[in-house]
Amino acid sequence: MFYFLKGPKRVLLSATILTCLLFTTSAYAGNNLSLWNDTSIVFTDLSGPGQSSSSMTEGIRHYSVLDLKSRGKLDSYDYSFGIGFKATDDKRRDSKKFSLTSLSGRLSNRVHTFNIGDTYESFSKYSLNTAIKGASYHYLNNANQIPEITLLGGIAYTRWDNFWDTDATERKLYAARIKQDLTADLWLAASAVVIKDNRRNFGSPLYDGNTLSFDLEYRPLPGLTIVGESSFSHIDEDNLTSGTIKHNGQAYRLEAIGDQNPSRVVLEYERVDPDYLSIAGSATADREKFKASWRYKYTRRLTVTTAFLWYRDNLDGQLAVRTQHYKPEISFRLQRMFNRRYAVGTLGYKMDRSYSSAASTQNHFINVSYRDRFGIFDSTTNLGMTYYETRTVRKNDEFVANTSLSTRMTKGAIIWKPTIYLGTWHSDNELNDEVDHSYEYSVGLGCDIPSKKITSQLKVGKHKLFKESADDAERFYASLNVYYRPRLFARLKNSTLYLRGLINDYDYTTDSRDFRENRITVGFSVRF
């Protein structure tokens, strides 16, 4: 079986499929089986001299996904099984014409849990936060003092077809975690992750090594949680240009979260060595960070949020200069403004400041928004002002404003939902002495006929971009989406026939760039 695969891959894939077949057989024996299929045909017509710029594929293309799930009981164990496929001849939607998208089986009696196939366990921030194709075992028994144990192993491929078709770096991953409740308010855990890369893919580096992490959570007071983690990585990087580089580093973090009305306060400190490398977890090397945030419900109507983030690099002085970053922010959210029942206003300011002896950047973001209902009309208005300044590189002001108005009216059996949208953007680039701006307007009309199980939405609009030093661009767009759930499908949950139409017409100052996209999608989605 699977003669084209070698060693552990063949065993892994065969075992997975056999397990799934076993579950499927069991599912036929009276357990819960569900299926979801979405199939569509897409007609795309591209025209104009600039059509190569389009992200759409011309012609008639199909797209289909199929997911099969089964749940049930085997003696005292719950089991679930899932398998999914995708088929399309549109390379921009998927590079494969036919692919196995998911394959997993799970068996659990709440104490012992076995998983095979698509396996994802998130141990802790630094240790493990990625999915593998493999297997895992999890032990958890609240009735005794035996620690919670998780073991897993497999290959960290993005897709199943990496096993037999598209070569990716073969990243073998083995991990274990043990977690113990020391008291009702304190637990400690240790995690070990071993990584071994085998096949180089388009010149990418190969990694070989391990990461050992310890994390804890402590709740000393009601509403206060303290989280900590310390991690050590020993990873060899085999790089085509630099040879083997040894990464031996440490990372640690401490976080305190106070969450009890009316406040939520978070304090966080983190330090990650320049030589700390986390392949399966999440960490940015060469980083010392401090963060404080405080959300306070000042009254039932007013909430104030303040936050401050600082971080810097060059922790070992290995770079020529050190860059410091400061990101303070404050925002206010007021409900029932002007004693109006539906009025909600927000005001926010953020600063993004970074500097070193060689570069300096400061960006300021100010936003105001107001949402309200006037009679039968719902209205949302946003205003934004941004100022970007990077010494000798960038200096520009931006202003964004948009507003939308919508309502909902019932006339007989039909619900009408008209909308209007107006937006503008203005950019003043002081360094290049250029002023650019854009406008957008659109109207929409939703039409629902609940008795006929029909929902639809029509939208037509135009977007104009005026540039001082490049082509102006104008885009006309129109879209129509219709969804119908016929009586035939009444016994099937969430099953729908749909029709989607789309027109995008791009018109540039340089005529050779003009193009138009016309697309019609017809499809059905069935679930039972």
Region 193-222 residues binding another protein, contact defined as CB under 8 A: 201-204, 219-222
CB 234 within 8 A of CB 250: no
What contacts 431, CB < 8 A, 6 or more positions away?
A: 392, 393, 394, 395, 396
Cα 241 from chain centre = 33
Is residue 267 within 8 A of residue 255, CB to CB? The reply is yes
Q: How far apart are CA 415 and CA 431, in angstroms?
A: 52
Any idea which residue has 């060693």 for tokens? 7
Other beta carbons within 10 Å of 81: 26
User: Which residue among 14, 25, 244, 284 contacts another protein (CB under 8 A)?
Assistant: 284
Contact 346, 371 (CB under 8 A): no
Do the Cβ atoms of 405 and 378 come closer than 8 Å?
yes
Contacts to another protein from residues 11-50, by CB under 8 A: 34, 36, 50
* Residue 471 in the binding site for another protein (CB under 8 A): yes
| CB 320 to another protein: min, Å | 5
Count of residues touching another protein (by CB under 8 A)? 144
d(CA 154, CA 151): 11
Between CA 493 and CA 366 the distance in angstroms is: 45
Question: Distance between CA 156 and CA 170 in Å, rounded?
Answer: 7
Least Å distance, CB 326 to another protein, is 7
Q: Cβ of residue 354: shortest distance to another protein, in angstroms?
A: 10
In the list 19, 101, 211, 231, the residue contacting another protein (rule: CB under 8 A) is: 101
- Structure tokens that stand for 305 in this block: 């949020």
**Site residues (CB under 8 A) for another protein, limited to 147-166:** 150, 156-159, 162, 165-166
State the nearest-atom distance from the C-beta of 195 to another protein, in Å: 11
Nearer to another protein, 2 or 36 (CB): 36
The CB-of-267 to another protein minimum distance in angstroms stands at 10
Q: How far apart are CA 248 and CA 236, in angstroms?
A: 9
| Contact positions with another protein (CB under 8 A) in 227-256 | none
Instruction: List the x/- string, 308-327, binding to another protein by CB under 8 A.
Output: xxx-xx---x-xxxxxx-xx
Identified binder of another protein from the candidate list 37, 47, 53, 403, rule CB under 8 A: 53
Site string for another protein, 105-124 (x = CB under 8 A): ---x-x--x----xxxxx--
Of 260 and 410, which has the nearer Cβ to another protein? 260
CA-closest candidate to residue 93, choices 119, 123, 60, 57: 57
* Contacts for 149 with CB less than 8 Å, ≥ 6 apart: 137, 138, 139, 176, 177, 178, 179
Q: Which span sits near another protein by CB under 8 A: 15-23, 208-216, 229-237, 500-508? A: 500-508
Nearest to another protein of 73, 452 (CB atom): 73
Adjacent-strand bridge partners of 231 = 213, 251
Is 421 in a helix, a strand, or coil?
Answer: strand
Nearer to another protein, 392 or 451 (CB): 392
The one among 184, 376, 487, 512 contacting another protein by CB under 8 A: 184
Is residue 386 a contact point for another protein (CB under 8 A)? yes
- CB burial of 395-410 (b: ≥16 within 10 Å; e: otherwise) equals ebbbebebebebbeee
Assess 185 for contact with another protein (CB under 8 A): yes
Strands, E, within 286-413: which ranges? 287-297, 302-312, 324-335, 344-355, 360-374, 377-390, 394-407, 409-411
Q: Is 412 in the site for another protein (CB under 8 A)?
A: no
**With CB under 8 A as the contact rule, which of the stretches 129-137, 208-216, 243-251, 478-486 interacts with another protein?**
129-137
- One of 138, 247, 253, 485 touching another protein (CB under 8 A): 138
Residue nearer to another protein on the CB measure, 17 or 156: 156
Closest approach of another protein to the CB of residue 21, in Å: 20
Segment 343-372, which members bind another protein (CB under 8 A)? Answer: 346, 350, 352, 356, 358-359, 363, 365, 367, 369
- Cβ nearer to another protein, comparing 238 with 414: 238
